[in-house]
C-alpha cells in the first residue's frame, strides 16, 4: 500500500493490525493575521467572506494532515487508527490545529470468509476496570453464521480466554439469546483484543436484520487466573444508530454521554468519578474534554420554536461566544448548507433535518 489509511475507529474493515508502532501527534500553528481575520469575520462566516475564511482553515488543516501522514510514513506505518483532529486557541493571536492517532502496520485479511456482513456496537457495559466487549462482528460463509468479538483491555493484562452470553436485537425489536460462547486466543498484551471467528447457531438469513447487541461477560482468564464477573451490566441510553456514531467520534470504548451532578461525573466510558477528579479513573480521559461546557440543550430547545433554518441560525449566533473556535466553522457550514437548500427549494423548511444534525453534533461528537 502506498497511501496511509486513516480511521477514527480502532480497526479498518478488511485489514488486521500486525504491528502497533507509536502514538503520533502533530500541530500546525496559525499566525496572528489569520486568527485576527477569523475573529473579525466569524459572525459573517456563512457569507462570501466567511467562505474564504473556511477555505483558508481547510487549506491549513490539509497541510497539517499531510505533514502528519509524512511522520507516520517515516515511522514505517501504513495506517492510523483512533485518529483525532482538534483546534486550540493558544493565545489571543495564535491558534493551532492538532492531529493525533496511533501509527500501525496493517495487512489485508486473508481467509475463507466470503462475506463480512454486520458489525454491531455493544450497547451494555460494566462500569469498572475489566476487559470490555465493544463490538460483535457477524459473518456468513456457505450459509453458516460466524461470530467474532472486539474487546477493550482496560487492565492491559494478558487475556487468554473469555466466556460470554450474547443477546441480539433485530430491526423488529425481536431478540435472540446465545449463551456460553467461549473464545481462546494467544495475543501480545494490547488495548484491543480481537477474537477469531467461530460458528454459532444462528439463521444466516437473519444476520442482516440485526441492529443491536448486548454482551454479558461471565468469565475471563487473566494472567492464568480465572476471573468471574457477577456484576449487573448497564445499558447505554443511546440508540443503536447513535451509539455507532458516538463510538466512531469518541472512541471504541465510549458508551454514553457525559453527565455531571453535584455528587459525581460520569465519563463517556461509563465510569463514575468524584467531583474533584480531573481525570477518569478507568480510561484516563480528562473531564475538560468530555463535551461542551455551555447549556446546548436549552439552545436546541429554543431552536425548536423557529420556523426556518435562517431563524435557527439567528438563535445560534446568540450562543456563538460559548462555542470553541474549531466547532464554530463546522457548525456555521452546517447552518449555511441548510439555508442554501431552503432558498433553492423555494418552499418548505429544512428545520427538522437541521435540528437533527445539530443535535447529533452536540450530543455525539
Spans of all domains in the chain: 5-108, 115-246, 257-291, 296-364
Alpha-carbon distance 252 to 249, whole Å? 9
More confident residue, 290 or 82: 82
| C-alpha to C-alpha distance for 335 and 355, rounded to whole angstroms | 10
- Give the cell for residue 112: 475463507
Average pLDDT, the chain: 84
So what CATH class is 5-108?
A: alpha beta
Burial 269-289 (b: 16+ CB within 10 A, else e): bbbbbeeeeeebebbebebee
Cα 249 to Cα 191: distance, rounded to the nearest angstrom:
18
In this structure, what DSSP letter does residue 323 have?
S
| pLDDT tens-place string over residues 216-230 | 999 999 988 999 998
- Give the pTM: 0.57
For the record, the C-alpha cell of 197 comes out as 471467528
Taking the C-alpha atoms of residue 150 and residue 148, their distance in angstroms, rounded to an integer, is 7
Q: Residue 362: what pLDDT?
A: 74
**Structure confidence by residue, pLDDT tens digits, 235-252:** 999 888 888 888 888 888
Q: How far apart are CA 50 and CA 40, in angstroms?
A: 10
Q: Do 128 and 282 meet the contact criterion of CB atoms below 8 Å apart? A: yes
How large is the average pLDDT for residues 25-43?
A: 61
Cell numbers of 189, please? Answer: 498484551
Side-by-side strand order, sheet with 5-6: 5-6, 79-89, 95-108, 15-30
pLDDT one-digit tens code per residue, 297-344: 788 889 999 989 999 999 989 888 877 766 788 888 888 888 888 888
Q: Which H or E element spans position 328?
A: helix 325-345
Is the dihedral angle over the CA atoms 239, 245, 249, 252 positive or is it negative? positive
Q: What confidence score (pLDDT) does residue 39 get? A: 52
Quick one: which of 38, 177, 154 has its CA closest to 95?
38
Our measurement of the distance from residue 267's CA atom to the centroid of its chain's CA atoms, rounded to an integer in Å, reads 14
CATH (one of 1.10.760, 2.60.40, 3.30.1330, 1.10.600) for 115-246: 2.60.40
- The larger pLDDT score, comparing residue 114 to residue 354, is at 354
Which residues are bridge partners to 141 per DSSP? 144
Amino acid at each position: 500500500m502506498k497511501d496511509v489509511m486513516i480511521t477514527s475507529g480502532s480497526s479498518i474493515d478488511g485489514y488486521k493490525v500486525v504491528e502497533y508502532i507509536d502514538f503520533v501527534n502533530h500541530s500546525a500553528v496559525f499566525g496572528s493575521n489569520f486568527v485576527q481575520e477569523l475573529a473579525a469575520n466569524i459572525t459573517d462566516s456563512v457569507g462570501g467572506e466567511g467562505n474564504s475564511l473556511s477555505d483558508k482553515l481547510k487549506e491549513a488543516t490539509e497541510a497539517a494532515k499531510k505533514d502528519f501522514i509524512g511522520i507516520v510514513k517515516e515511522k514505517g506505518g501504513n495506517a492510523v487508527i483512533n485518529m483525532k483532529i482538534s483546534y486550540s486557541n493558544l493565545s489571543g493571536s495564535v491558534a493551532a490545529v492538532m492531529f493525533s492517532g496511533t501509527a500501525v502496520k496493517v495487512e489485508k485479511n486473508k481467509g475463507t470468509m466470503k462475506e463480512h456482513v454486520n458489525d454491531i456496537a455493544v450497547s451494555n457495559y460494566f462500569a469498572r476496570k475489566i476487559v470490555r466487549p465493544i463490538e460483535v462482528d457477524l459473518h456468513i460463509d456457505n450459509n453458516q453464521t460466524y461470530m467474532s468479538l472486539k474487546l477493550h483491555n482496560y487492565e492491559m493484562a494478558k487475556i487468554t480466554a473469555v466466556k460470554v452470553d450474547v443477546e441480539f436485537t433485530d430491526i423488529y425489536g425481536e431478540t435472540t439469546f446465545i449463551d456460553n460462547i467461549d473464545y481462546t486466543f494467544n495475543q501480545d498484551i494490547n488495548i484491543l483484543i480481537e477474537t477469531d471467528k467461530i460458528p454459532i447457531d444462528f439463521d444466516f438469513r437473519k444476520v442482516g436484520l440485526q441492529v443491536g447487541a448486548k454482551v454479558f461477560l461471565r468469565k475471563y482468564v487473566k494472567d492464568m487466573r480465572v476471573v468471574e464477573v457477577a456484576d449487573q451490566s448497564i445499558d447505554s441510553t443511546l440508540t443503536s444508530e447513535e451509539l455507532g456514531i458516538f463510538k466512531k467520534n469518541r472512541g471504541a470504548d465510549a458508551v454514553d454521554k457525559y453527565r455531571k451532578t453535584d455528587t459525581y461525573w460520569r465519563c463517556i466510558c461509563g465510569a463514575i468519578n468524584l467531583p474533584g477528579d480531573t481525570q477518569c479513573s478507568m480510561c484516563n480521559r480528562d473531564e475538560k474534554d468530555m463535551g461542551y461546557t455551555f447549556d446546548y440543550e436549552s439552545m436546541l430547545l429554543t431552536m425548536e420554536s423557529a420556523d426556518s433554518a435562517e431563524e435557527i441560525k439567528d438563535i445560534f449566533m446568540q450562543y456563538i461566544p460559548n462555542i470553541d473556535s474549531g466547532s464554530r466553522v463546522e457548525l456555521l457550514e452546517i447552518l449555511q448548507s441548510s439555508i442554501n437548500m431552503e432558498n433553492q427549494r423555494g418552499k418548505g423548511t429544512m428545520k427538522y433535518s437541521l435540528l437533527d444534525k445539530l443535535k447529533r453534533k452536540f450530543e455525539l461528537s
